[in-house]
Chain A
Amino acid sequence: MSGPACRVSAGARRTRVARPAVLLPAVAAAVLAAALPAAAQTTGSVRGRVVDEETGGPLSSATVEVLDAGIRTLTDDEGRFVLAAVPAGPRTLRFELIGYRSHEMEGLHVRGGRTVEVEVSLRSAPVPVEGVVAEVDRVPLIEPEISATHEVVVGDELEELPVDAIEGAVELTPGVSGGHFRGGRVGQEVYVIDGLELKNRLEASTQGAVMEVSPTSLEELEVTTGGFGAEYGSALSGVVSYVTRRGNRHRWRARASLLTDQWAPDALFTGFSGLSASAGGPVPFLGEDATLFADVLAQGMVDSDPRARGLACLRPGDVREPLAGEIRRVREDRALSSLHCPYTPERLPHQRGEKLIGFLRFDRSLFGSADLTATLLTNRVQRELYTPEFKYHREHQLGQRSKGALATVTVDWNRHLRGSAWHVTLRAAAMRLDRYLGVVDPSTFDGRARVAGFGLGDFRFVGEDFVRSPIDEQLDAGTGVPGYAAPGGATGSPFGPAAEGIFFTEGTPTLANRTRSEFVGSDLVAEYYSADGHVVRGGVSGKLHRAESYERVLAHLPGSAPNYALFYPGVASGFLEVRLAALEDVTVNLGGRVEAFRPGLTFRRDRSDFLAPEVDTDWELTVMPRIGVSAPVPGTEGRTAFRFNYGLVSQPPDFRFFLDTTLGDSLRTDIRRQGNPELTFEEATAYELGVSHVLTPGLAAGVTFFRKDLTNLVTGSLSFSETAPGQFTTGDFGTVQGAELTLRGRWPGLRIRAGYALQKAEGVASTAFDPVDTLATDGSSERVEFPLAFDRRHSADIAVFVGRAAGDPGWGWGAAVTSTVQSGFPLDRELAAGEIDGRLSVDAYLPWTWTVDVRLSRELGTLPGCGGCRWRAVVDGRNILGRENVIALRRETGEVGPSIARVRALAARESGVATPIPFESPEYSARIDFDSDGRITAGELRDARFAAALDRLDPSLFYGEPRQVRIGLEVTFR
C-alpha cells in the first residue's frame, strides 16, 4: 500500500481522531460504525466528512461514490455526506474533488442496517495525479454508537467456521445456547432474511427456525440478544438477521466444497457427505448491472442425528441399585447374557436423512436509483426418526420431511441530496412451509439414486395421499390411513416372542401428522438519513397467513378421526424510530412499535354446549416503546463505551397454541377444533446496561447486565374447573436476569471471540388444580416459583481463528477452533413446551456439556488446469475430544437410566404370548430357549422380557453428538 492511508479506529470517537505518526499525511480516515439499535436490512449506510488534509477545513461538493453500486452523493458545505442503500458487504468508496488527489477506500465493510462512519482527508494536487488506495479493517472491536447487544459474523468467517448449519454459528453468540436466547423458550426469537421478518408462527416453539439458510449464501449474520430496534416484533429474546450474498457486477465468482467422513474409521463414521456450491456474477442479458447469485447446500447422512454412544444400552453404571444388580445378573448369566446389548451398532439405525438448501438471488437496476431484488429460498430437510420401540422393525419407521419455499421481491429506491439521503424499501413475499410426520414408505429407499451420499428424491410416506385428501372425504371413507396397521409382532427382535408389546416388529407407527404454514405479505420501510447523524425510519407491514394442522395419533384405527384445523390468521405492524445525534458522541434511539394479530378462528366459548353461538376472535393489539442510549465514556478517548436499553417486547403466541393441546383430544369427532383462540401477546419488559472497553489495540472486553420481566407466557394448563380441559393459557409470568461477558481479540493471524453468560430464569406456573389465573394475590393461594425450563445458568463460547482463517492471506493454512460450554437445563424440559403434567417440583439440572470443534484448511495453490481456481484441503472435526455429553435425563430418576419399577412395569406389560412356545412356532427364538429344549417356557419368557425392557429403555438419545471427522476439498474461482 502506498500513498495516503486510512485505518480502523475501533472505539474511536466519532470526531476526528488524532493521527498517529505512522499515518501518511495526505489522507486519514476514521471508520466507525453506528446504527439504529438493530437493523433488518440488506443495505447499510455510510456517513462521513471530507476535509482538506493540510488545513483540516471541510471540502464542499466532493463526490463520494460507492463503486459497483451506482450510489453517489456530494458533500455539503461542511464537508459532510451520507450514502444510503449501500449493499452490505465489503465495498469500495471513491472520493473525488477537482484539485485534489482522488482516494479510494477499499474493504469498507458495510453491514445491513448499520451506518458506517468515515472521515477522509484529501491532499491537494494542482495537476491530475493518480489516486491513492487504502484498505480498512472490517468489524471494529467495540461500537460505541450501538446500543444493541449483538454479535456479527461476516461471510468469510462463516465459511471458516466448523458448522454444518447456520444454527451452529448462531450458537457462538454469548447468551445463546441450545436454541434458547437469553433464557428464552425456543421460538422466542425471530429470523430476518434480507430485512424480511420470518417466523414459524404455527409452531416456532417446537420447530424453531422457519427456514434454514446455507452459511455460504450469507454476506453477514447478526445475532441480537438485547436492545432490539422498533423494527423488530414477534420476538421476546432474540433476533437473527441474515444478509444474503449478491452476485458481483463485473465477474463471476464461484466456490465448491465437498466434505465427507467416508474415509473415516468406523468409530468416526456417521455417513456424512456435504456438498456446498455457490456462484455469482453478471448476467448482462437480463439487464444492465444485473447479477445473479446461486447457492446450494446438500447434505446426506446415514445417521442424521448421531449420538456419542451410538446405539447404547443400559450399563450397571447408568442406574442405581437394585436395577444395577439386575443388569449385572443379566450380563453374568451364561444363558441370559446374549440378551444384554444384543444390537448396538456404532450408529443409530433408521436415521437416514438429507438436507437440501437452495438459494437464488437476482439483482438489477430498475430505473433511476431504484433497484430490484428477487430471491428464492428453498428447503428440504427429511430424515427418519429413530424410535427405540421400532428399533427392530425392518420396514416401517417414523420420518419427517419439511419442505419450504420463500420468494421475495424487493424494490429499493434511494435519493441522495447534499447532506441527506432517502431510502425507501418495498417488499413483497410469499412463503410455504410444509411439514409431514408419518410412516416412511420403505420403497423410498429402493434403488434410490444418490449422489455423494445425498438422495435425490423426496421421502415417500405411507398413506400420504389419503392424509392430504380433503378432510370430509377422509371422514366419509371411515377408514384408517391406508397402509397403517396396528403395531405389534412377536418375532424379528433378539428377544423373539418376549418382545411383544415392548418392541414392534410388525405393523406401523400410528402417527400421521402434517402442518402447512403459508403467508403472503408486504412491508414498506422509509428511511431518512442526515449527514449530521440523525436518522428517521418508519414502516408498516402486514401478512396474511394460512395455517393448516392435521394430526391423527391412531391413524390405523378405522373409527378414529383426525384433529384438523384450517384457519387464516393475520399479523400487522408498524414502527417508527429515530436516531438522534443529540449530543456529541451520544446516540439516542427512540422507537415505538405497534403490533396486532388476529387468530382467524371462530369458536364456541363454552365447548360443552354445542348449541352455543360461535364467536369470532378479535384483533389483539400491543404497543411497544423502545429506548436505547449509547455513548463513549468521557475521558476514555473512545476506549470505553456504555449502552442502555429499555423496551417492551412481545410476540403473538404460536398459532399452534390456538389449537387444543394434545391431551385427550385425539378421538374427537369435532374436527374444527380450537384450543384457546383468545390468547393474547406474550410480553416482556427488558432492561439492559452494558459497558465495553478496549484493553489493548487488539483486545476489547464488555459486560452486559440484563433483566426481562415476562408476562402472559403461554403455558399448558390442565384446567379441570372450567369447561375446556387441556387448554393453553397466557397466564404465567416470570423473570430472566443475568450478565454476559464478552472478549474480542484481533492480532495479525489471530482472532478470538469469546463470551460467557450467567443467567437465572424463574417463573410462576399454573397447575392442573390451581391455574395461575386463579392464584390470589392476597396470599390465600401459594405461588410456586421454579426455574423455567430454559433456565441454563452458565454458558460460554469461544471462537479462535488462526492464519488464513483469520483473514491473513500470508498464511498457507488456517484453523478455526470453536468451543461451547454450558450448564444443564432443569430436568423437566417439557415445561418449555407448555406441557405441565401437574408437577411443579424441578429439583435437578442436567449435567454440564461442552464440545470442541475444529476446522483446518491447507491451501494447495492454483488448481491445475484452471488458472483462476484455487483449491485447498479441509479437515473438519466435531467434538474432537470425544466428550460424552448427556443432554437429557429421565424424569423419574434424574439419570439416564430408568427405575427398576419402570423396567418391571414394561416387562410385565401384557403380551398375549402363550407359553410354552414350541420350536416350530414362528414365535420361537432359540435365543430365549435358554435350556435349548425346543420350547420356551413361561420362566424363560419372563427373564427375556426383563432383558427386552432393559433394551427398550436404551439411553442412546440422551447423549449429544459424537466425535466426527470429515475430510474434503474446496475450490474457489475468482
Chain B
Amino acid sequence: MTARWVRSWPGVALVLLAVAGTAAGCRDEVDPFVPGDPPDRARGARWRLTYSVEDDRAPVWGPDGETVYYHRPGSGALPPDRGVLMSVPYRGGTASRALPEVQRASGTRRWLVTPAPAPDGERIAFAAVSLPYDLVPCEAADVVTICDPTDWIPAVPMARKVDIHVRRFGANRPVEDDPGLALPVPGRSFDRSDAPGLLQGTWVVEDHPFQKVWREEGTLFFRPSWSPDGERLAVSDGLVIRIWEPAAGEARVLPGSEEGISPAWSPDGEWIAFSRLQRIAPVSTRCIGLWNGILVCSKRQTDWSVGSRTLVLVRPDGSEVRELGPGEEPAWGPAGETVYYRREGRVWRVGVDGAEPEPIPGSEGGREPAVSPDGRWLAFSRLAPEEGQHDVWVMAAGGAEGAP
C-alpha cells in the first residue's frame, strides 16, 4: 500500500532531492595519507634550527624575516658539494637548497658559502670558494727541503681565490653568467726577480692573519654584505674591504678598511662594520728544495701571528673610522644602532654611540650572529663541542637567560 506522504508532491520532491543530492557525491573520496608538517621545535627564547652532523655556518636572515639562510657541506640527500647554500624557516622545519638549479642533487662539486639575500628578496649574493692549493711550494716527494731557520714548520694549503656572485632566485642560467667579482686571495706569488741558480724565480708565500683564521677557525673573511639599497656589496679579500657594484662590475677599495674582514653594512647605510686583524711577530723563512742534489725550488715565506681582533666602523666612503673594541664577525641590529658580534666565545652587542658592550645571555658558544629584520631574533652558529661542528640556533635578540 502506498504511503500517503509519498503521494504528495513535497514528499516526492524531498525524496528525489535527497537521492540526487547524495548521489551527486556529497561524500568525499578516500583521502590520501598526509604526512603533516614537522613539529614546531621553536620553544621558549632559544631553539636549535639545524641538527646535522655537518658544519652549519654563516646564518643570515632573509628580508621577510621568516627564513634563515646558511651553508653546510652536502651529504645525505643533498648534493655532495663542499658547500651548499640552504634555507630553513626560522622557527624550524625542513631545510632546502637555496639554489637548487645551481646545486643539483646529482652533484656539481661547487663550494658555495656565505649566502646573503639582497634587501629586495629577489637576489642572493654568495661566495664560490675555489679549492685550496693542493701543493705547497717546495714540498714534494723526493724533494729535500732545506730551510732557514731550520725549525720552520711547513704551512698547510691556503685559500687562493673566491668569486662573489649575485644571482636571482629561480634563474636558470649558468652561475658563470651571473654578475661576479673575482677576489684573488693574497698569499702566494712567484717572484721572477729572485732566481737562484738556474731557477726561473722564487715562490713567495705570505701567511696573512686572515689566512690563519680562515684555516684554523673557519672565519669567513670574504663574507659579502649588501648595502640597504641593494646596489652595492661590501666584501673582503682578506687585506682590505672592497665595495662592489654588481651592476657596474666595479670594485673599489674602502679607505680605512685595511686588514678588515667580514664586513657588515648597517641597515641605515651609514656604516660598514668589520673586524680588523692585527698582524704581529712576522717570521720569515727561506727554503730551497733539492732533488738528487739538484736545486729545483726556492721559496720565501712570511708568517704572521694574529694579534687582537677589533671591531671597527667605517663610513662607506671611508671618511670616518671608529673602533668599538675587541670583537669580530659583526652584525647589525635593524635600527642601525646596535652591533652584535663575536667575542670571547659568545655573542655580544654594543651601541654605535659608544655604550658599554654587553654579552648576550644564552649565546655561549655562538658566533656569526645575524639579527632578524624585526630585531626580535638572533640567529647564530654554535659549536657542538662533542661533535666539533656548528649548528644554527635562534634565540631572542635580548638573550635567553637560563637557556640550556
**Chain A residues in the interface with B (C-beta under 8 A):** 258, 260, 262-263, 269, 271, 273, 275, 300, 302-303, 342-343, 345, 347-352, 391-394, 450-453, 490-494, 496, 812, 859-865, 913-914, 916-926, 933-935, 968-969
Contacts and interface: CB of A to CB of B under 8 A. Distances in A.
Contacts of B93: 920
A302 B32 CA distance: 12
B88 A920 contact: yes
Nearest to A349: B30
Nearest to B391: A918
Contacts of B30: 271, 302-303, 345, 347-351
Tell me if B's interface is mostly helix, strand, loop or mixed.
loop
A812 B1 CA distance: 7
Contacts of B50: 918-920
Contacts of A303: 30
Best-buried of A913, A921, A968 by chain B (most CB within 10 Å) = A921
B22 A921 contact: no
B272 to A, nearest CB: 31
Interface stretch (B2-10, B153-161, B317-325, B335-343): B2-10
A920 B52 contact: yes
B177 interface: no
Best-buried of B7, B22, B33, B75 by chain A (most CB within 10 Å) = B33
B32 A922 contact: no
Contacts of B75: 914
Contacts of A935: 51, 53
Interface string B10-44: 00100110011011111101111101001101000
Interface of B: 1-3, 6-9, 12, 15-16, 19-20, 22-27, 29-33, 35, 38-39, 41, 48-53, 75-77, 86, 88, 92-96
B26 A262 contact: yes
Best-buried of A260, A492, A923 by chain B (most CB within 10 Å) = A260
Contact of B53 (A275, A916, A925): A916
A861 B6 CA distance: 9
Nearest to B75: A914
Contacts of A920: 49-52, 86, 88, 92-95
A445 B375 CA distance: 46
26 contacts: A258-B23, A260-B22, A271-B29, A273-B23, A302-B27, A345-B31, A349-B30, A349-B32, A392-B32, A394-B33, A450-B24, A491-B35, A493-B33, A812-B1, A861-B2, A865-B9, A918-B51, A919-B41, A920-B86, A921-B94, A922-B77, A923-B77, A925-B35, A925-B38, A926-B39, A934-B51
Contacts of A494: 33, 35
Given A450-B25, A926-B39, 12 more contacts: A262-B23, A262-B27, A345-B30, A345-B31, A350-B30, A392-B32, A453-B25, A490-B77, A864-B8, A914-B76, A919-B51, A934-B48
B9 A917 contact: no
Given A453-B23, A922-B95, A934-B51, A864 B1 contact: no
Contacts, number: 131
Contacts of A258: 19, 23
A496 B36 CA distance: 11
Contacts of B35: 491-494, 496, 925
B38 A343 contact: no
Nearest to A266: B27
A614 B76 CA distance: 54
A61 B270 CA distance: 124
Nearest to A492: B35
A876 to B, nearest CB: 14
Best-buried of A347, A860, A865 by chain B (most CB within 10 Å) = A860
The 8 residue pairs across chains A and B that have the minimum distance between CB atoms: A861-B2, A262-B22, A918-B51, A920-B95, A934-B51, A918-B52, A452-B23, A919-B51
Contacts of A394: 32-33
Contacts of A349: 30-33
A450 B29 CA distance: 12
A490 B35 CA distance: 12
Contacts of A933: 51
A452 B24 contact: yes
Contacts of B9: 864-865
B38 A924 contact: yes
Contact of B15 (A922, A934, A969): A969
Nearest to A934: B51
A392 B38 contact: no
A258 B76 CA distance: 55
Contacts of B26: 262
B194 to A, nearest CB: 50
